[in-house]
Amino acid sequence: MLKYIRKRLLYSVLTLWVLITITFFMMHALPGDPFIGSKPLTQEAKTALFAKYGLDQPVYIQYVKYLKNAIGGDFGESMVYQGQKISDMIAHAFPYSFDLGMRALIFAVIAGIFLGMKAALNNGRKWDRVAMAISALGVSVPSFILGTLLQYFIGIKLSGWTQQMWGFRLLPLSGWDSFKYSLMPSFVLGFGALASISRIMRTSLLDVSNMDYIKTACAKGLKKNQIVWRHMFRNAISPVITVLGPMAASILTGAFVVENIFNIPGMGKFFINGITSNDYPLIAGTTIFYGAFIIIANLLVDIAYMIIDPNVRLGKKKG
C-alpha cells in the first residue's frame, strides 16, 4: 500500500508540474495584453507596468521565477485588482466556493445513492421509473437554466407568497449568509452529479445482485436488509467512489456559473473577470490552485478505493 501511495504521489507532483507549465505558456500565448483598458496608457507607463510584473524579461526567466514562486504558494499580484495578491484573493474567496461545493457534493452523494438503490431494488417498478426520470432531468438540464427557474418560481413567486401570507420569505433569491441561502445553489450545483451517481449506483447494484454469493445468501435465508447492506452495498459502492474525484472537480469548476447566478462571493467572479481582462496572474493562479485541489482529491479517492476494496490489485495485472 505504501508503495502505491508513493507512486501516486510522484504522479501527482509530475501532473502538477505539467499543469503549471502549460498554464504559464498558454497565458503568454493569449492575444493582447492586460493593460488595455478604458484609459489609454502612454508608452512610458506601459513599459513601467511590464517591468513591475516582470513581463519585460525573457519568457524562460519568467517561467523559472513563476515555477519557483508557485511551488511556494505565491502566484503574484493581480493586474486588475491593483495591490492584491492572488493568494490573498484565493484565501478570501475559496472558502465560499468550497463550502458550496461540499454541500452540493454531500447532497449529490446521499441523494444519488438513495435513488440508485431504490431504483435497483425496485427494478422495473414505480420507484425505478421515478429515479430514472430524475436522472434524465439532471443530465439534460444545464445548471444555469435550473438555477434561473428556481430563482423565479421559488425565490420570487413562492417566497413572495409566503411573505404575504406569513410574513417571511421561504428562500432568499441570492446571497450567502445563513443556511437557507445555500439550499437553492447547492441543489442546482449538485443535481447533475446526483443524476450520474444514481445511474452508476443502480447499474452497479443490479450487477452485484446477480452474483453467486448473493444467491447463496438468499438461499441461506438471510434477511433482505442484511443481504443489501452487508453483501451488496459494499461491492456496489466501489464505482461511485471511483468517480468522486472527477465529480468533485466538475462540481467545483461548475460552481463558477452557479456563484454568478446566486451572487455568491466565491472564486467565480475573480476567474471570469480575470479571463475578460487578460489578468495573467489571476487566471494562472486560480487555474493552478484548482488543479492542485483536483489532483489531491483524486489521490485521496484512489487511496480510499483501495482501502474499501482491498481485493483490488491496483497497478497489477490479474492472473
- 163 domain residue, yes or no: yes
pTM of the model: 0.78
175: left (phi over 0), alpha (psi -120 to 50) or beta: left
Q: Is the pLDDT of residue 311 over 70?
A: no
Q: Is the pLDDT of residue 45 over 90?
A: no
The CATH code of the domain that includes 174 is 1.10.3720.10
Q: Is the pLDDT of residue 273 over 60?
A: yes
pLDDT in tens, 237-266: 888 887 877 787 778 777 888 988 898 888
Judge whether 104 and 247 are in contact, CB under 8 Å: no
Q: Is the pLDDT of residue 109 over 80?
A: yes
Report how far residue 190's alpha carbon sits from residue 177's, in angstroms, rounded to the nearest whole number.
19
CA dihedral sign of residues 222, 224, 226, 229: positive
Domain range spanning residue 195? 2-308
Residue from 117, 105, 132, 102 nearest 237 by CA: 117
Mean pLDDT of the chain: 82
Query: Which pLDDT band holds residue 317 (cuts at 50, 70, 90)?
Result: very low
- 315 domain residue, yes or no: no
- 25 domain residue, yes or no: yes
Report how far residue 36's alpha carbon sits from residue 261's, in angstroms, rounded to the nearest whole number.
28
| Structural domains in the chain (count) | 1
pLDDT at 31: 67
- 317 domain residue, yes or no: no
- 144 domain residue, yes or no: yes
Residue 35 per-residue DSSP state? T
Q: Is the pLDDT of residue 319 over 50?
A: no
pLDDT in tens, 182-231: 999 999 999 989 999 999 999 998 888 877 777 777 777 777 777 777 77
pLDDT at 58: 83
